[in-house]
Chain A
Amino acid sequence: MAMIGYTQLMKDIFDVDKTSVEALFDTLAKHKPSELRMKTLRKLAQVEEETISGLLKLAGENNTGGTYKTVNLFFTLLEKDNILYAEKRGHREYWRFTERSKDLQIFLSHSE
């Protein structure tokens, strides 16, 4: 006997798949996705795993100060929503998409 969890309940009651791309975009939208933030996230989707600084360099942006802080805040909020996952290796923090958000990663990696 297993208890029914949130994702299945949402599917049965509202016919909403919480792991779908639309639902994940809805979560993304709550955290003020600016052009810079989305550009960095798209880069992460393409390279699978990277530090925020490395992603900003790849995107051709300044990788220090306010630019770094705003992306770091965005990624931390997404980590709370189980979209991103951070792994600490020494001083550096490597970010990647979680299993739940694999579809979103595929969508972002192919979008311009």
Chain B
Amino acid sequence: MSVVYKQNGFFIDIREKFLNRDYSKIYMIENCRESNVQSCTVDLRLGKLFTLKASGTLDPPKNMPTPQETELPYMLSPGEYILASTIERINQTKTKYAAIIAPLSRTFRIGLSIQSGMVHPTYQGEIIVGIKNISPHKIRLRRGMGLVHLCFFDVKSDIIPIHRGYQHGKVI
């Protein structure tokens, strides 16, 4: 729907102007829906799932489980633990916010326990979270379902770039 408002004899299509997004620019969160922006949080959706394959005793960083991408929808069995990445991608080139990842209430209502970390001010990439089914029932996970939300915080002093291996979406 377009709204036309008459001003000085010219018709300006206001809604079209409002919705025209410049895709050459880099925004803080890519693939984000406007409806997912809440009063002070941003909802993130499930994009990909990774099952973890491991043998023997896990001894980080020598013996780590290898993630393997699985198809969606996925039936999560009771007690099963998997990794999930989000559709949205953080791209903090202009902004320098720290963010806390918190599970949506709808996830723990059905018995999904979500393990998450923190987003550093220079982070770029998808958000990876761990999901465990703590309910006695099987749970179907679909692409696009709401999983976690991000609360952004302003960092007062100067920051330094991060150099950890699991940052910037290089490694799942």
Contact = CB atoms under 8 A, between A and B. Distances in A.
A4 B154 contact: yes
A50 B38 CA distance: 34
Contacts of A25: 3, 5, 14-15, 18
Contacts, number: 68
B153 A1 contact: yes
A14 B34 contact: yes
Contacts of B17: 22
B65 to A, nearest CB: 33
B96 to A, nearest CB: 11
Contacts of A5: 39-40
B22 interface: yes
Contact of B7 (A6, A10, A22, A111): A111
B26 to A, nearest CB: 10
* Chain A interface size, under 10 / 10 to 19 / 20 to 34 / 35 or more: 10 to 19
B77 to A, nearest CB: 36
Contacts of B94: 12
Interface string B1-37: 1010101100000110110011001011100101001
B148 to A, nearest CB: 16
B38 to A, nearest CB: 7
Q: Tell me what chain A mostly uses at the interface: helix, strand, loop, or mixed.
A: helix
B170 interface: no
Interface centre among A3, A15, A22 (most CB of B within 10 A): A3
B156 A13 contact: no
Contact of A1 (B1, B8, B37, B154): B154
Given A3-B152, A4-B97, A25-B3, A15 B39 contact: no
A23 interface: yes
Nearest to A20: B18
A100 B156 CA distance: 26
A86 B153 CA distance: 34
Interface of B: 1, 3, 5, 7-8, 14-15, 17-18, 21-22, 25, 27-29, 32, 34, 37-40, 42, 94-95, 97, 151-156
Given A4-B153, A29-B14, 18 more contacts: A1-B154, A2-B154, A4-B40, A4-B151, A6-B40, A9-B152, A12-B29, A13-B27, A13-B28, A13-B32, A14-B21, A14-B32, A15-B22, A23-B18, A25-B5, A26-B14, A29-B3, A111-B7
24 contacts: A1-B154, A1-B156, A2-B154, A4-B40, A6-B37, A6-B38, A6-B39, A9-B42, A9-B152, A12-B27, A12-B29, A13-B27, A13-B29, A13-B42, A14-B37, A15-B25, A15-B27, A16-B18, A25-B15, A26-B3, A26-B14, A29-B3, A29-B14, A111-B7
